[in-house]
């Protein structure tokens, strides 16, 4: 995912130039974090989407995977991650509870059957999504199993060859991974903040590599910007546009990793897309404990997080 941040590593922050206008909004401490809606689509559309080897992509199989996608909202993906990463349930147990609550296995037509290998990347969210795919496919008459397969650079070739047949993926990231593999590192970006346009591009370029795709969920795992719920209530902000209108200026503090002032999806993106200015930029980590603590302790007004972080639940 494309990343962000600000100031030199280890610095406490960088003061904004005198040209920054507006009063801004001082940080407000609080225990709960909320993501502001990226209403102008600054971030790329990294919606969860099943990637499928075309040779096994029959309609019943895709319909089963689409049932999972249809149930996955941003809030529910956060809750799934919380169940595993915070409550310490296994991915299998968390997936079983979710599938039961969301009636994932009801109303599915029986497909061609046969063994299906689902690949999961080496992090818990991918394992949980893989477990959900397994439950849905078993209910549709397949003999599905999940195998941990590591990084995209490793499993992508296995997926296109058919050694594994399905992987839970992220639309924009996979689009650009294939784009650069096919067209070179300097290829024109095909993904955007528009999920429909991104999925169209993914189906076009991925289809030529022997891949098909199910429905993209509304759930995403990518860069996002959060405030405390107390901040949101005090200043009346729900979207990044709200923040830009009400909070751009000297008192506002942005927190993120050291690359934020240079990365197009961080400070420059907030400035260019939302016309947002800050009195100070804190050099923290990339969506990790430093950034979240800066929000909770009231030292940052707005900070980079990841949209499916379990601490947002």
Torsion angle in degrees (nearest 10) through CA of 106, 159, 125, 122 = 140
pLDDT tens column, 100-111: 999 999 999 999
* Contact call for residues 285 and 278 (beta carbons, < 8 A): no
CATH tag for 48-213 (out of 3.30.70, 2.40.10, 3.20.20, 3.10.105): 3.10.105
pLDDT tens column, 131-157: 999 999 999 999 999 999 989 999 999
Domain 14-42+222-312 part of CATH 3.40.190.120 = yes
Q: Is the dihedral of CA 129, 134, 137, 138 positive or negative?
A: negative
Q: 9 pLDDT band (50/70/90 cuts)?
A: very low
Q: 20 pLDDT band (50/70/90 cuts)?
A: confident
Q: What is the pLDDT of residue 2?
A: 40
Q: 313 Cβ partners below 8 Å, 6+ apart?
A: 75, 78, 79, 81, 82, 86
* Contact call for residues 65 and 136 (beta carbons, < 8 A): yes
- For the chain, domain boundaries: 14-42+222-312, 48-213
Q: Is the pTM of this model over 0.75?
A: yes
Q: What is the pLDDT of residue 116?
A: 98
Q: Residue 269: pLDDT above 60?
A: yes
Q: Residue 235: pLDDT above 60?
A: yes
Compute the average pLDDT of residues 212-216. 98
Q: What is the pLDDT of residue 8?
A: 32
Percent of the chain with pLDDT over 70: 94
Identify the burial level of 311 via C-beta atoms within 10 angstroms of its C-beta, where 0-12 means exposed, 13-18 middle and 19 or more buried: middle
């Amino acid at each position: 995912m494309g990343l962000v941040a600000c100031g030199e590593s280890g610095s406490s922050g960088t003061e904004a130039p005198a040209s920054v206008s507006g009063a801004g909004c001082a940080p407000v401490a609080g225990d709960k974090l909320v993501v502001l809606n990226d209403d102008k689509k600054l971030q790329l559309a990294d919606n969860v989407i099943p990637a499928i080897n075309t040779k096994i992509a029959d309609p019943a199989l895709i319909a089963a995977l689409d049932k999972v996608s249809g149930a996955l909202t941003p809030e529910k993906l956060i809750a799934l991650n919380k169940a595993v990463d915070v409550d310490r349930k296994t991915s299998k147990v968390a997936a079983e509870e979710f599938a039961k609550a969301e009636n994932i296995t009801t109303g599915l037509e029986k497909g061609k059957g046969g063994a299906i290998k689902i690949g999961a990347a080496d992090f818990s969210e991918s394992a949980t999504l893989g477990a959900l795919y397994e439950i849905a496919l078993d209910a549709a008459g397949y003999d599905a199993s999940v195998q941990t397969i590591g990084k995209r650079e490793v499993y992508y070739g296995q997926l296109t060859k058919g050694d594994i047949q399905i992987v839970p993926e992220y639309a924009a990231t996979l689009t650009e991974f294939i784009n650069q593999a096919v067209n070179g590192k300097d290829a024109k970006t095909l993904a955007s903040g528009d999920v429909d346009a991104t999925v169209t591009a993914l189906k076009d370029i991925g289809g030529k590599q022997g891949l098909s795709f199910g429905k993209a969920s509304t759930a995403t795992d990518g860069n996002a910007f959060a405030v405390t719920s107390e901040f949101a209530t005090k200043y009346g902000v729900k979207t990044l546009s709200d923040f830009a209108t009400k909070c751009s200026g000297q008192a506002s503090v942005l927190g993120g990793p050291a690359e934020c002032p240079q990365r197009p999806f961080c400070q420059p993106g907030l400035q260019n897309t939302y016309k947002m200015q800050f009195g100070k930029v804190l050099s923290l980590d990339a969506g990790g404990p430093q950034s979240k603590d800066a929000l909770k302790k009231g030292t940052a007004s707005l900070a980079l997080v990841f949209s499916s972080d379990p601490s947002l639940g």
